[in-house]
Structure 1
């Protein structure tokens, strides 16, 4: 039986109460099969980041269920949820979030050290090689370009061999050429390693690297595209942003 890497069933997330009630997600049901690359897009305020946070166990839905590899997150205690995120989920954000006083290899090893595990130096070097930074292991963030720093962040996310890698605008702070290099790395992780990647982005060029693009509007799924090019994705986004509220 092929269990989806992530499955959301009728997930809603509401904030506030009364007149201040905001519905960020509204009955969203989605499946993310193993070994696929999905981009999530939508106008500002459509619920993209909330979807990612609920799917990754960073935020709890108000209602509905989220499962990662068959484990339902909504029933886990905070302690067990923290352990699951640490061991089975990787994160890459627009901000690199590297510790400036640590070298690249020390930043990469940090998730294992925080989990009380002694990182094997060979494993740390392996993931740095995987992102093309084997010769930068002893460099600190200030000695690396923005693209190299994001690669270190990517290696740090991979050190625990996560089932799912979540990216929140992972190329948002990079120039177009460096962004393409990082996106090519993500694409290769899906094609070569059968990694599952879910990426929130506003960039149609970035989304075109994914197998499919899921569109959100006002907290609801508003269709998806598979194997689409950047031009078609941009046209769809223009339609969504021009639609009356």
Structure 2
């Protein structure tokens, strides 16, 4: 086992070709150590989501390499990449993406069923208990608040016991109180469970829950801070957004 859960080396991602091509990531090198919580911030269009997708194996870099737990992703076939994501990676997005016709426990069990595994009731209940929803297992999404739905989405991401949990604006659709609850859960996953959490966010308060904040500008890393309060993170973001292109 390596010390880094995920490592990107000189990752470039271009969309399109010729004169119309757009460079979303430009020679990005980053490491996400095991058991840490990293927030990724930057102005709109800076490449945050592309970084997350390349790191998680959802998108392939144009050049460079991505390693997850010692496994080089770049050369994997689509089949092997899909298997790796199912077994070792969890995803949480701003949109909860729950199936409305399924109960909370059925939604949580879905990744196991998609992987051809028979979900163990105890494993599903354990994932729901982890996010404080053990008593809502039989409820459907329409019977739950937005915060509860996002916690079900978290439980669904955790049920396969992934090495790394990726979040793309996971608190973006939540009010401040329920957002804090989800962030506390993410913080606990790193501190208590030793899980690696990588979260894209535009919210300095959300970012302040992380061990470090990495800033992207125009597809390039523009420094990072550790242990900074939300006010300092907000001030840095304001300077980045005001900088001339």
Q: Does 1:70 align with 2:70?
A: yes
Superposition TM-score, scaled by structure 2 size: 0.99
Aligned residue for 2:35, secondary structure, equals coil
Between the aligned partners of 1:3 and 1:198, the Cα distance in structure 2 is: 15
Partner SS for 1:11: strand
Deviations, residues 205-237 of structure 1 (Å, cap 9, x unaligned): 000000000000000000000011100000000
Q: Which residue of 2 aligns with 1:107?
A: 107
CA distance in 2, matches of 1:58, 1:124: 25
Distance in 2, Cα, partners of 1:188 & 1:15: 36
> CA shift at 1:21, angstroms?
1.1
Structure 1 gaps, min length 5: none
8 Å Cα contact 2:87-2:162 kept in structure 1: yes
Question: Alpha-carbon deviation of 1:73?
Answer: 0.3
> Cα distance, 1:61 vs. partner?
0.1
Provide the residue aligned with 2:82 in structure 1: 82
Cα distance in 2 between the residues matched to 1:43 and 1:190: 26
Q: Give the corresponding residue for 2:236.
A: 236
Structure 1 match to 2:124: 124
Quote the Cα distance in structure 2 between the aligned partners of 1:12 and 1:214: 17
- Which stretches in structure 2 are left out of the alignment for 5+ residues? none
**Hey, what's the Cα distance between the residues in 2 that align with 1:151 and 1:217?**
31
Q: 1:3, 1:70 within 8 Å by CA — same for their partners in 2?
A: no
Q: Deviations over 1:154-181 (max 9, x none)?
A: 0000000000000000000000000000
Q: Give distance in 2, aligned partners of 1:189 and 1:54.
A: 22
Distance in 1 between residues matched to 2:61 and 2:24, nearest whole Å: 10
Structure 1 position 2, deviation (Å): 3.7
SS at match of 1:205: helix
Find the counterpart in structure 2 of residue 141 from structure 1. 141
Q: C-alpha separation between the residues in 2 aligned to 1:76 and 1:203?
A: 34
* SS at 1:12 equivalent: strand
Q: SS in structure 2 opposite 1:75?
A: coil
3-state DSSP of counterpart to 1:76: coil
* Moved segments of 4+, more than 3 Å: none
Equivalent position of 1:31 in the other structure: 31
Deviations 1:16-47 (A, max 9, x none): 12220100000000000000000000000000
What root-mean-square deviation, in Å, do the aligned CA atoms of Structure 1 and Structure 2 show? 0.6
